[in-house]
Amino acid sequence: MASKVFAVDEKAPPQEGNTLEMATVTLAGRDLCSIADLSRSEIAAIMELAHSVKASPADYRFSLDARQMVMFFEKASLRTRLTFEAGMNTLGGSTMFVDQTQSPLGERESLADIARNVERWVSLIVLRTYSHETITEMAEYSKVPVINALSDLEHPCQALADFMTVEERFGTARGVKFVYVGDGNNVCHSLMLTAALLGTHCTVASPKGYGPKQEITAQALRIAGESGATLTLTHDVVGAVRGADAVYTDVCTSMGFEHEVTKRAPIFKPYQVNEALMAHAAPHAVFMHCLPAHRNAEVTDAVLDGPQSVVFEQAENRLHAQKALMVLLLGGGLNGSRDTATT
C-alpha cells in the first residue's frame, strides 16, 4: 500500500539556556488548549519538571498552596479526573468537580458568563468536552489558565504523559521511532504534535479515510521543520511498525462516535496490535495505549498484558506530567491569575 512520507533533514536543536527557568516565565498564566500552543523549549521544560516531580514529590508539596481548581467534565473519566485531583491536592491546592455529562457547557449559561464567574473564585479551569471550541472559547474569556483535558480535536495532557514515558524508557524522545496505529483521532493529533516538538520520528498507520486531520498534519510538519522530526502517514501497518521503538494504539471508536462501532470494526481489524504485528517492531520496543482499552479489539490481551507493555506507566505519568503543567501555568506558587490573585 502507498505511503505518504514527509521528512525534514536532521539537525541539532539550538542552545536555549535553562529551559525550565525560561518556561516559568513564559508559561505562567497561559492556557493549554493544544500541544501546538507550546514551543519546543516549553515542552522540554514541562518534561524536565515532570521527571523532577516524580522523583521528588515532597519537594513540590506546597507549590500550589491554597490554589483552587475546578473541573468541568462532559465525558466520563477515570485517569484524567483522578490524576488531576490527586495532583492538585498533593501540590497543596484543592479541587472541585462539576459533572456536565447531562448538561453540556454553554447550554444553561453562555461560556463567556461561566468564565467571568469562575475566574473570580478559582485559579485554574480544567475542561473535558466534546467540542474543542468549548475549550478555546472558555480560554478566550477566562482570566485564569484553562487546560484541555480532552476534546474532539486533542488530548494534550495524555500526550505529555506518553512522551514522558518514552523519555523514561529511551532517555530521550529525540530520534525515537514512534508508530501510532489506528484511528487518526484526538489522541493521535496530540501525539503527532508532541513528536514534532521533541524531534521524534513519527509514523501514523490508519485505514483509508481514517487518518489525522489535514490541519493537524500541517501544524506538525511546520513544527517538525524546526525540530528535525519526521512524519509519515501510511496505510501499511506492517511497514509502519517494522523496526519501531514504540507502538501505540487507541480505541477504534472514540467517545461520540459510538454509532459507528459496527461500521468501523471490519475496517480496523487489520490494524489490531497483536503479537504477530509486534514481532515486526524492534526487540526492545514498547507497547503503548492511552486506556481504556477494548481488549481483543484494537489490541490483544497478550500484548496489553505482555512484557513490552508500558500502559500503566503511562497512566501513572498522567499524574506527574499534569502536576508539572499546573505548577508552570500557575507560576509555581506565585500569582496564578493573569491579572490579579485568585485564592
Out of 132, 155, 174, 320, the active site residue is 155
Give Cα 209 to chain centroid, integer Å: 23
Out of 132, 318, 320, 322, the active site residue is 318
pLDDT at 6 exceeding the cut of 50: no
Strand order in the sheet with 68-73: 94-99, 68-73, 124-128, 146-148
Give Cα 201 to chain centroid, integer Å: 17
Instruction: Examine the residue annotation and report whether 284 is marked as an active-site residue of this protein.
Output: no
How large is the average pLDDT for residues 43-52?
96
Return the minimum-mean-pLDDT range out of 54-58, 86-90, 234-238, 337-341. Answer: 337-341
Instruction: Examine the residue annotation and report whether 252 is marked as an active-site residue of this protein.
Output: no
- CATH number, span 157-316: 3.40.50.1370
The confidence score (pLDDT) of residue 9 equals: 37
Q: Do 256 and 298 form a contact (C-beta atoms < 8 A)?
A: no
pLDDT at 261 exceeding the cut of 90: no
How large is the average pLDDT for residues 237-245?
98
Q: Tell me the pLDDT tens digit for each residue of 131-173.
A: 999 999 999 999 999 999 999 999 999 999 999 999 999 999 9
Out of 30, 40, 67, 128, the active site residue is 128
Out of 290, 314, 320, 322, the active site residue is 290
The percentage of residues in the chain with a pLDDT greater than 90, rounded to a whole number, is: 87
Instruction: Examine the residue annotation and report whether 128 is marked as an active-site residue of this protein.
Output: yes
Q: Which residues contact 73 (CB under 8 A, 6 or more apart)?
A: 80, 81, 97, 98, 99, 100, 101, 127, 128, 149
19-154+317-333: CATH homologous superfamily?
Aspartate/ornithine carbamoyltransferase (3.40.50.1370)
Instruction: Examine the residue annotation and report whether 132 is marked as an active-site residue of this protein.
Output: no
Same topology, domains 19-154+317-333 and 157-316? Answer is: yes
Instruction: Examine the residue annotation and report whether 242 is marked as an active-site residue of this protein.
Output: no
Task: State the pLDDT confidence band at 256, using cuts at 50, 70 and 90.
Answer: low
Out of 100, 158, 314, 322, the active site residue is 158
pLDDT at 19 exceeding the cut of 90: no
Instruction: Examine the residue annotation and report whether 290 is marked as an active-site residue of this protein.
Output: yes
The confidence score (pLDDT) of residue 254 equals: 72
Out of 68, 132, 250, 252, the active site residue is 250
Q: What is the DSSP string of 264-286?
A: HHHHHGGG-B-HHHHTTS-TT-E
- Residue whose C-alpha is closest to residue 297's, from 262, 246, 257, 247: 262
Q: Where are the domains of the chain?
A: 19-154+317-333, 157-316
The more confident residue out of 195 and 10 is 195
Mode of pairing for the β-strands spanning 146-148 and 94-99: unpaired
**E strand segments, 156-207:** 177-181, 201-205
